Amino acid sequence: MKVGKQISGKNQAGAAGWRAQAADLFARPLIIALLLVVVTLFVYWPVRQCGFLGYDDPLYFSENAQVQNGLTAGNFGWAFTTGAAANWHPLTWLSLMLDAEIFGNHPEGPHLVNLLFHLANTVWVFALFRRLTGATGRSAMLAALFALHPLHVESVAWIAERKDLLCAFFVLLTMLAYGRYVGFSKVQSPKSKVSYFLSLVFFALALMSKPMAVTLPFLLLLLDWWPLNRISNFKFQISIAASAHGFPTPKFLLREKIPFFGLSVAASLVTFLVQQNSAAVATLTTLPLSARMENAFVSYLRYSAKTVWPATLANPYPHPGHWPAALVIVSVLFFAGLGVAAFWWARKFPFFFTGWFWFAGMLVPVIGLVQVGTQAMADRYAYLPVIGWLIIFVWGLAQLAARKHFSKMLVATAALAMLAACAIKTRAQLAFWQNDRTLFSHALAVTKNNYTASLNLGTWLAKNGQPEAALAQYRAALGMNPTDPLVLYDLGNAFASLGKLDEAVENYRRALQTAPGRPNILNNLGCALLGQNQLPEAITNFEAALQAQPDFAYAHNSLGTALFKQGRFDAAAEHFYAAVKLAPDNPQFGVNLGDALVRLGRPQAAAECYRRALQLDPGNQEIAAKINALGTRPGN
């Protein structure tokens, strides 16, 4: 019996040793970072199967000529001077150009790059809070929630939101460099100046990725309060007293942020001018200030609710114009109450103060006081702000676990259950981002009066050979916004595809009443009139389209077709040639030019056009027949 007890004791000691070694292994930062990457990669891996969306992806990537041409000297200059997409974010453009250079015009590559940025941001969140707080376990939990929270699916699964991920990447690096600067400055190391300079460089790169980073200087002041503890008390003791206790003076803390504030002001001015010139900023006539303030308070409540319970996520969330008074009152009380609580508990729970104002402050540029776009809010806007709520949750949970009457095992189990729930919901949410049909069908299922979702779903249905179903969606969108030129234009396209040219012409004309001079509407109206054999009026619309946009390849082709029908083959050939030059990858333009050249008695030039078209569309028997009719074999 004695021997048995000794063996048992050795086994127990050995088991305890193994457990200790395992615990020590999984507490190592590199192992934790690796686990975060592996788990996040597993949850997000289906994102590689997502396709291009018709919502902003063509503007940012799939149909953007500059981006698709890759990294050239001319495109580099364009990235820094353009106001395309109603923003100035040159680094985002350069990043997407690099994707096009490496992967071509395919969605899998950009999606995987987005995922890589999200993985990097997860590691930066862990590294940042471990450096600033020294708490490895809590920092790991915070990073895991950040990595797996369903609110972040929109930023990762949408190619056009590369700007979100890129901006966050440099914002987190800015804070990491700032943390190093503070640490080195305490020991008066020369490295502090290098770290400070790096934090400014990273901040500038963040602003060149997405201007939402403009509130970062205020965020650095929050970090000075907690967890860096550079402020002596919340009331900012007078300079002499603060200095005597080893704290930087208020003047010093503000002075060291001046370069950051300078960059923020410059980025804000550039962004406002670009958005105003792009007509992206809604006027006070369109959306009054009272409605914007209502939506701002309600959005704070809704973002908070979706952080806690991300059950009905959608893209987009339609703006109602005005919210019910009861909801506005509750939202104002919620916002004010948490602000007062943050001040009240500033010393007792400093993480709550930093967490709440991190969340509230980072959302200010996109909360809708300056309304850009038609959405009331967007999941992508919460990518970095949600960290504020996660700070409150993780450090608050740690406070509960430290109390005697709380079971640490129960708290740990609850935390792991929450991570598992986030992972499951995130994987489910990714399924909605496969294409426009899945995304906007889901949006219509979980929101009301979603004009944008109906319009985009209709466009997907039209492109995929379902014109009747598309027509139903366009009519639904028109019911929500009867004068919008875009839905009238799409409605005209749907009627045209069904051969209902009278209805198509009617809707194109209505669209032009709201948006006169739009080249795409003018061109399609001309095509409908061409189908009705109203050649003079069709030509007038094609010429107006080209006057508005001289490099409009389709309008050149359309005008060439109308002139060809009139027997004006010389003029037709000129416009077909212009269309081919502007869009050399379109085989139909080459065929049309060949047809005009045949009529002009130039068979050899026509055959060359047909051969090039056949190279672009191999196996097209109609083109091959045209070549054979000229007595020239394909490929000669």
Give pLDDT, residue 458: 95
> Measured between alpha carbons, how far is 60 from 588 in angstroms, rounded to an integer?
26
State the pLDDT at residue 517.
92
Provide the mean pLDDT of the chain. Answer: 90
Q: Return the structure tokens found at 77.
A: 């200059």
Is 236's pLDDT higher than 50?
no
* Predicted confidence band of residue 633 (pLDDT cuts 50, 70, 90): very low
Q: What is the pLDDT of residue 244?
A: 44
User: CA 126 to CA 136: how far, in whole Å?
Assistant: 8
Task: Give the pLDDT band of residue 10 (cuts 50, 70, 90).
Answer: low
Q: Is the peptide bond before 227 cis (omega within 30 degrees of 0)?
A: yes
- Please give the single-letter amino acid code of residue 351: F
Contact yes or no for 208/87 (Cβ under 8 A): no
Q: What is the pLDDT of residue 375?
A: 87
Cβ within 8 Å of residue 351, ≥6 positions away = 226, 227, 391, 392, 395, 396
The tokens of 134 are what? Answer: 């020294």
Question: What residue spans in the chain does CATH classification 1.25.40.10 cover?
Answer: 447-550, 551-636
**What pLDDT score does 238 carry?**
40
Q: What is the three-class DSSP state of 372?
A: strand
* CATH T-level topology, domain 447-550: 1.25.40
Check whether 2 has a pLDDT greater than 60: no
Q: For residue 377, what is the DSSP state?
A: E
Residue 376's nearest CA partner among 439, 279, 452, 267 is: 452
Quickly state the pLDDT bin for 11 (edges 50, 70, 90): low
Say yes or no to pLDDT of 234 above 70: no
- Specify whether the CB–CB gap between 263 and 206 falls below 8 A: no
Q: What integer is the mean pLDDT of 81-99?
A: 94
Per-residue confidence (pLDDT) for residue 574, from 0 to 100: 96
Q: What is the pLDDT at residue 186?
A: 79
Strand-pairing partners, residue 377, are 317
Q: What pLDDT sits at residue 242?
A: 45
Mean pLDDT across the stretch 272-290? 71
Residue 424 pairs in a beta bridge with none
Residue ranges with strand state E in 247-352? 317-318
With contact defined as beta carbons under 8 Å apart, do 561 and 531 qualify? no
Do 360 and 339 form a contact (C-beta atoms < 8 A)? yes
Task: Note the pTM of the prediction, 2 decimals.
Answer: 0.88
Alpha-carbon distance 499 to 598, whole Å? 30
pLDDT surpasses 90 at 316: yes
- Sole residue written with tokens 């012409």: 505
Residue 591 to residue 608: CA distance in whole angstroms: 10
Would you say 103 and 110 are in contact if contact means Cβ atoms under 8 Å apart? yes
Contact 352, 226 (CB under 8 A): no
Burial string for 346-356 (b: 16+ CB within 10 Å, else e) reads beebbbbbbbb
CATH code given to domain 551-636: 1.25.40.10
Task: Report the distance separating Cα 157 and Cα 348, nearest Å.
Answer: 40
* Helical spans, DSSP H, in 27-135: 29-44, 57, 65-68, 73-81, 90-103, 108-133
Which residues, listed in sequence order, are joined to residue 281 by a DSSP beta bridge?
372
Residues 6+ apart with CB under 8 A from 213: 167, 170, 171, 203, 206, 207, 264, 267
Q: Give the three-class secondary structure for 550.
A: coil
Structure tokens at 216: 């970062």
Mean pLDDT of 370-382: 87
Q: Of 402-406, 459-463, 581-585, 630-634, where does mean pLDDT reach its minimum?
A: 630-634
- Count the helices and strands in the chain (H runs, E runs): 32, 2
Distance CA 280, CA 371 (A): 8
Residue 357 near residue 388, CB atoms below 8 Å: yes
Structure tokens at 399: 């406070």
* % of the chain beyond a pLDDT of 90: 78
CA nearest neighbour of 154 among 27, 71, 53: 53
Q: What is the dihedral of CA 290, 295, 296, 299, to 10 degrees?
A: 170
> What whole-number distance in Å separates Cα of residue 481 and Cα of residue 237?
56
Three-state SS at 376:
strand
User: Cα(450)–Cα(6) distance, rounded to whole angstroms?
Assistant: 72
pLDDT, tens digit (0-9, with 9 covering 90-100), for 249-278? 888 999 999 999 999 999 999 988 887 776
pLDDT band for position 369 (cuts 50, 70, 90): confident
Question: Would you say residue 4 has pLDDT above 50?
Answer: no
